[in-house]
Structure 1
């Protein structure tokens, strides 16, 4: 089992870190979401050199993580997540920074052990790290020197990001090289996934981004819920969801900014499904407690299942209130009846209606036929694309409705290769998580 020992002095060190990090509060305003590490030059901030008072933050298998290392990683998290550092959010930054540093230290210790035993090079070289940093800089429309300079202007030493990058690319390369060639995705697995996708296609589907705070990593459900609440507040204040997901989410989708793509009813845990059923596109959920942590979900879009019939329509209408006289209704009907023959389809409806005084035209958009009001539903079911209805009376007026198109809802069928690649990635991610769990359980970690 992992042996964790807590040493007195944490409160004093946390107070020092709070004072240090609050001095860097302008950093969050510069964070963006478009790249894994998005940096823009902020107002001048004093660089954080190693002359600050240092002590031991943690010991991982006899290797020290200093409070300087911890403060630097916290600065990097702030600069790349867009979350505003406050006295309330700093404990979360500190916790996430320390967990990340411990995991990276375990990874590098394991890789160097394997290098020695197997006489192979596994840890990324300086040239490989430079190449990765150049890619990050390009995503930020900078040269590598400009990118490193922008970090330095925010008090972040270049080695802070370099060591994070070194650990990440080394570990991913090892896992893929060691286990990737051994993974075999069978045809039975692919066929089963295809059947599951076909069954799910008839259900409502949700395009979501997700964050999950792992209770086991952050010290329990109370800490996870508190951290999730703080992240929701920060996202509502403008912190970019993708940047927050990359830095705080424990899910594999963190690498893509939390983007989980389209999911169907039943593909997410029941608590998340219940929240999605109540949300509208563009909404951010409140924290959602689940078995192992707390979810935050952003619903980007929503669509009906593949079995649903969708119709797109336009209308030309004369406004009439419910109490309009028979003469007023008759006059409006005559006006629309004279207009109707001049409309040859959706493409001509608006131009034709514009020539008739008192007639207003508009696009009704796309909707499920079953969700339409009864008079419009009858027209949608009976008309072919390009046809125009008889005048329809509603409490708002008299309407001509043109059907522009009809289609079955649902996405295109997922290909064989797409399913195979998805299953391959899922299995590789599971192997990596299990490997890390075993390393933590066998490690000696002292947190001070």
Structure 2
């Protein structure tokens, strides 16, 4: 239980609506909000039942949200968060939930780690931008104590049954889950790694479908960029097992954190989830062919890929194309889904038998991969335990977040909140 709750707290999107910390945001800093008069800093800005939120706390949280690059108006987000924090603190206090200094420090350290900084470095960066250590401490305590409270109160009700997991994975025989995603795939190499990482972080914090579609059109190297990054409906089971739980945990409009692939960084935005009639297929093995073409994404290499693709209908045809070349130019493999490299698995998820893709590269971008789907072998019942656990955790997280949001709204409806 403790391990799951820890993963729930650190999962993207749990703490304050998908706030992600980036080193760039901290280094660039942010203009401090217009300060209230010094003599009014510790005057009440809001009262929540018998608890006071001061102007100083509101100013500090506003600056903190601005530094983190939280989408939306930082002042509005800060006010809303602080009101909810007071409601949560009252509930956790009544339940007798408290944290040790060790747990608080660990939580602050974990948060700093999201920006690839030590806690000392993170606090220094915050201080240079006018945010006190107490602000991070209060923010961390509120998140951790509420995590413990929600877990102790709702976890038993949030856990899915075996049948519900089967349905989500398309194994129940009554239906399967399909997801509607948009993608941005950005090539990365040693020369552009810093720029790509910063761009990917910015994209991961976008807060609209239109903005993500614009980013896909402008920056993505995938064929889907011509359709604003939109992918068709895909069975959840076609995605790489390690991504199924992550994708299923997204709400419509939410974006994954940047996902490292070989030679690229990927981001996905959830546009929809639906359950369809009929059992979704599960696959014990996937056979695919990789035909390697010198030149990376150069026009000449892409032209060669199109020419080869026009001459083949099955993977067997590639043997004829490659017969007078170095044997290393063609690689045909049959692997379990969990064993397939993630970038290959993502491309294969979009392909039916006999279809090709020329999106991937190898050799640090110098070799283009013409990928062809040869066929999929049905899974006759042997389970992928890791994928199943990932889906179970995603379903549990969804329910915990729903229980949490509903309970906070109930607390708010019963509270006396006065904005000065």
Per the normalisation by structure 1, the TM-score is 0.47
Greater Rg by CA: 1
